[in-house]
């Protein structure tokens, strides 16, 4: 194993970092490296912004630590190394009657990343977040290796789940898999004509897996229109997925110009018949629709893209309407926009989920996009919501103050676990997440 100086980037490719990277292949190598010096770790770098980046020092690439260490076929408890992609875990066990209870939007997210970001899936309203199904975490802190559970070390556990890797390096974890009928999904799609109709559809849905694609270019009476997808796991003969596609080069700027996106969105909306449609697909297709297009981030061109994702309370529907009005008016939205209804489940102090609606929209990294995303961030905060750090690359420190009510408890646990700040990443520094809140010095003199 050797060190290499590499330029790394998040999935959005709008942020980069250059530094020394080591890629251990065995747990013993990982322990030896961390005993010599603590440093942040990353997996497949599917966080969109700068969450997995460290421009201030070395990092560890965990992707070769991807083994299944044990599995109990009676209980469904599996012990895996942190670098294993969750999609691989799902494919290994779905045909055997078990599946990770929470699947994020990409199967390339590693188990360590799923824990550090406490990811959520299309069934969050049913089963909660990923961290709520983690039984045990093996955490390396310098020359010490600890096995922690919610019962044995509650503060450290809740600071690790959703904690952006700031309490130590996650080496492995035991997960509780969920029973499943097979490796197929029945997918029902139907058009939704507007934002209020989407809210009603989410309330009426009884499906385990529910998500809405939003036409973020629509205006007026069509504002918030889209397609509702409802899925259920089933069994049968797997027809197999089509041959994976790939984006071989960076797309030109005009490929995601406002007129092109409007036309694409119109066609995408109309592809679903007015009466709706139902189909049976391999389980990975509805879970990870974009994974079938390798390097799809190149569609945004060399400059990359940023995503805005927020969650706001259930009664903040007016806020979502204002957001969509500003997004559609900007002409900056891409075809990738998602609306979901979330439940209250969250596993850690800094976990993103809360009961409400989550909106996610991708924006090409071009003039005006950062300003718009910061504007949307302020709207989310004012509505009592928060942004998702796994997707952010634009927000400013003062904007996120107060978004996470348990941040002080997280800071205390992190300060104890990593007093020298060796695990800080570019995102943590940019948003000053480990620093105390800014204070405003009152003016003196004059009449008050």
Could you read off the pLDDT of 226-272 as tens digits, one per residue? 999 999 999 876 666 666 678 887 888 888 999 999 999 999 999 99
Question: What is the token pair recorded at 347?
Answer: 């596993």
Least confident of 86-90, 108-112, 244-248: 244-248
The pLDDT of 172-192, averaged and rounded, is: 95
Give residue 53's region: left, alpha or beta (phi > 0; psi -120 to 50): beta
Would you list the DSSP string of 17-57? EEEEEE--SSHHHHHHHHHH----EESS--SSSSTT--TTS
Beta bridge partners of 21: 4, 59
Averaged confidence pLDDT in the chain: 94
67: three-class secondary structure by DSSP: coil
Crossing angle, helix 369-382 and helix 317-330, to 10 degrees?
170
Instruction: Tell me whether residue 270 is in a domain.
Output: yes
The number of angstroms, rounded, from the C-alpha of 86 to the middle of its chain's C-alpha atoms is 13
The number of angstroms, rounded, from the C-alpha of 314 to the middle of its chain's C-alpha atoms is 21
Structural domain span for residue 273: 184-396
Would you list the DSSP string of 158-207? HHHTTSTT-S-EEEEEEEE-EE-S-SEEEEEEEEE-SHHHHHHHHHH---
Nearest to 186 by CA among 277, 248, 265, 80: 277
Q: Any idea of the CA torsion for 368, 342, 352, 409, to the nearest 10 degrees?
A: 140
State the pLDDT at residue 448.
28
Nearest to 387 by CA among 156, 117, 41: 117
172 close to 79: Cβ distance less than 8 angstroms: yes
pLDDT digits (tens, 9 = 90+) for 357-380: 999 999 999 999 999 999 999 999
Residue 163 CB coordination number (10 Å): 29
Instruction: Tell me whether residue 79 is in a domain.
Output: no
Least confident of 148-157, 319-328, 356-365, 433-442: 433-442
φ, ψ dihedrals at 416, nearest 5°: -75, -40
The pLDDT of 196-210, averaged and rounded, is: 96
Instruction: Tell me whether residue 173 is in a domain.
Output: no
Beta strands 356-364 and 337-342 are: antiparallel
Instruction: Tell me whether residue 334 is in a domain.
Output: yes
State the pLDDT at residue 183.
87
363 close to 418: Cβ distance less than 8 angstroms: no
Beta bridge partners of 60: 22, 41
Q: Which long-range contacts (CB under 8 A, 24 or more apart) does 437-446 make?
A: 437/401, 437/402, 438/397, 438/398, 438/401
Q: What is the CATH number of the domain that holds 331?
A: 3.40.462
Q: How many domains does the chain have?
A: 1
Residue 31 CB coordination number (10 Å): 18
Rg (CA), the chain: 22
Beta bridge partners of 137: 148, 173
Crossing angle, helix 195-204 and helix 317-330, to 10 degrees?
130
Question: What is the token pair recorded at 448?
Answer: 């008050």
State the pLDDT at residue 71.
97
Instruction: Tell me whether residue 82 is in a domain.
Output: no
- What is the percentage of the chain residues whose pLDDT exceeds 70? 96
pLDDT-derived band at 168, boundaries 50, 70, 90 = very high
Instruction: Tell me whether residue 177 is in a domain.
Output: no
Instruction: Tell me whether residue 169 is in a domain.
Output: no
Instruction: Tell me whether residue 132 is in a domain.
Output: no
343: three-class secondary structure by DSSP: coil
pLDDT digits (tens, 9 = 90+) for 10-44: 999 999 999 999 999 999 999 999 999 999 999 99
348 close to 423: Cβ distance less than 8 angstroms: no
State the pLDDT at residue 443.
41
Q: Cα(93)–Cα(235) distance, rounded to whole angstroms?
A: 14
pLDDT digits (tens, 9 = 90+) for 280-300: 999 889 999 999 999 999 999
State the pLDDT at residue 238.
66
State the pLDDT at residue 247.
83
State the pLDDT at residue 1.
67
């Amino acid at each position: 194993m050797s060190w290499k100086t590499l330029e790394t980037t998040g999935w959005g490719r709008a942020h980069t970092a250059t530094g020394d990277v080591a890629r251990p292949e065995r747990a013993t190598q990982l322990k030896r490296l961390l005993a010599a010096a603590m440093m942040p770790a990353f997996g497949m770098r599917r966080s969109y912004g700068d969450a997995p980046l460290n421009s201030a020092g070395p990092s560890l690439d965990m992707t070769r630590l991807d083994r299944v260490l044990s599995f109990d076929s009676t209980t469904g408890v599996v012990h895996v190394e942190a670098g294993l992609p969750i999609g691989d875990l799902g494919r290994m066990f779905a045909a055997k009657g078990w599946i990770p209870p929470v699947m994020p939007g990409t199967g390339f997210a590693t188990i360590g990343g799923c824990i550090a970001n406490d990811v959520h899936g299309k069934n969050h309203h049913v089963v909660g977040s990923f961290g709520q199904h983690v039984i045990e975490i093996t955490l390396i802190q310098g020359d010490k290796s600890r096995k922690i559970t919610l019962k044995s070390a509650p503060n450290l556990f809740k600071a690790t789940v959703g904690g952006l890797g700031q309490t130590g390096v996650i080496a492995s974890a035991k997960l509780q898999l969920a029973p499943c009928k097979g490796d197929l999904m029945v997918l029902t799609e139907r058009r939704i004509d507007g934002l209020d109709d989407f809210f009603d559809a989410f309330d009426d849905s009884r499906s385990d897996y529910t998500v809405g694609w939003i036409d973020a270019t629509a205006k007026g009476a069509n504002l918030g229109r889209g397609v509702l997808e409802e899925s259920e796991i089933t069994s049968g003969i797997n027809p197999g997925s089509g041959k994976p596609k790939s984006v071989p080069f960076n797309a030109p700027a005009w490929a995601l110009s406002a007129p092109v996106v409007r036309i694409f969105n119109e066609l995408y909306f109309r592809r679903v018949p007015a009466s709706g449609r139902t189909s049976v697909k391999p389980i990975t297709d509805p879970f990870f629709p974009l994974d079938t297009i390798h390097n799809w981030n190149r569609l945004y061109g060399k400059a990359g893209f940023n995503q805005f994702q927020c969650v706001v309370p259930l009664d903040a529907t007016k806020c979502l309407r204002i957001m969509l009005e500003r997004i559609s008016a900007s002409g900056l939205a891409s075809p990738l926009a998602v609306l979901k209804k979330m439940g209250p489940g969250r596993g850690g102090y800094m976990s993103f989920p809360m009961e409400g609606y989550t909106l996610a929209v991708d924006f090409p990294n071009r003039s005006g996009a950062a300003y718009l995303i910061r504007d949307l961030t302020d709207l989310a905060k004012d509505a009592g919501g928060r942004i998702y750090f796994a997707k952010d690359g634009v927000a400013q420190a003062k904007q996120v103050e107060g978004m996470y009510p348990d941040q002080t408890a997280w800071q205390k646990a992190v300060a104890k676990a990593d007093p020298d700040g060796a695990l800080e990443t570019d995102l943590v520094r940019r948003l000053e997440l480990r620093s105390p809140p800014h204070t405003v010095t009152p003016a003196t003199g004059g009449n008050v």
